[in-house]
């Protein structure tokens, strides 16, 4: 009898909500669980110390990789290309779970590609988001307002867990670890 498909857990939320910090805490908490894969995305942006540890690619290299089947799933958002490695599909087919930093924009397509997709939605109050985004210094006040407005839009896939990261990172981190623990079985 074939193993059932492993579950893909997509962590989504607006920019500035703390997904990368929460994913880092979860990765550390599950370090002794080798069956749980934390997916490293390919992204068409340089690696920086203040963002997720991704595989940086030029747009041309990304396009070639996509054409050659290097990704099990990819999308474009905010002028960037994002790709999940082809090895993810093998990991899931082996019946093992995986966690990925996802995108709200492609959740419906991701759910079609990965049956059993579970979504963890990270939220924060508009005031907290505005403060965090402003502190980053990457966006104008208008761009920040647009991001905050989009943060309130409903998700195309019902989340299995919602974590409010308006308070302490430790509290939200405990909730994140608990949610992944529930969903990975």
- pLDDT (tens digit, 9 = 90+) per residue, 139-166? 888 988 888 888 888 898 999 999 999 9
Helix axes 126-136, 141-151, angle to 10 degrees: 140
27 in a domain, yes or no? yes
1 in a domain, yes or no? no
Q: Could you tell me the end-to-end alpha-carbon distance of the chain, in angstroms, rounded to an integer?
A: 18
Structure tokens at 54: 């991704």
| Residue with more model confidence, 153 or 171 | 171
Is pLDDT at 109 greater than 60 in this prediction?
A: yes
| pLDDT in the model for residue 51 | 64
Domain that holds residue 29: 8-183
17 in a domain, yes or no? yes
58 in a domain, yes or no? yes
CA distance 105 to 143: 17
β-sheet bridge partners, residue 77 = 80
The structural domain count of the chain equals: 1
Q: Average of pLDDT values for 58-83?
A: 95
3 in a domain, yes or no? no
2 in a domain, yes or no? no
CATH code where residue 178 lies: 3.40.50.300
């Amino acid at each position: 009898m074939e193993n059932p498909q492993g579950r893909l857990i997509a962590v989504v939320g607006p920019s500035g909500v703390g997904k990368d910090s929460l994913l880092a805490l979860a990765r550390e908490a599950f370090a002794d669980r080798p069956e749980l894969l934390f997916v490293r995305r390919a992204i068409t942006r340089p690696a920086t110390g203040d963002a997720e540890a991704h595989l940086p690619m030029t747009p041309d290299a990304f396009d070639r990789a996509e054409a050659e089947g290097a990704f099990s799933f990819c999308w474009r958002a905010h002028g960037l290309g994002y790709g999940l490695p082809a090895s993810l599909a093998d990991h899931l087919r082996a019946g093992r779970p995986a966690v990925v930093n996802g995108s709200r924009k492609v959740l419906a397509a991701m759910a079609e590609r990965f049956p059993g997709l579970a979504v963890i939605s990270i939220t924060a109050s508009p005031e907290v988001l505005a403060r965090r985004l402003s502190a980053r210094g990457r966006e104008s006040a208008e761009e920040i307002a647009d991001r905050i407005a989009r943060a309130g839009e409903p998700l195309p896939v019902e989340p299995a867990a919602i974590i409010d990261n308006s308070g302490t990172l430790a509290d939200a981190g405990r909730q994140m670890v608990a949610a992944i623990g529930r969903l990975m079985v």
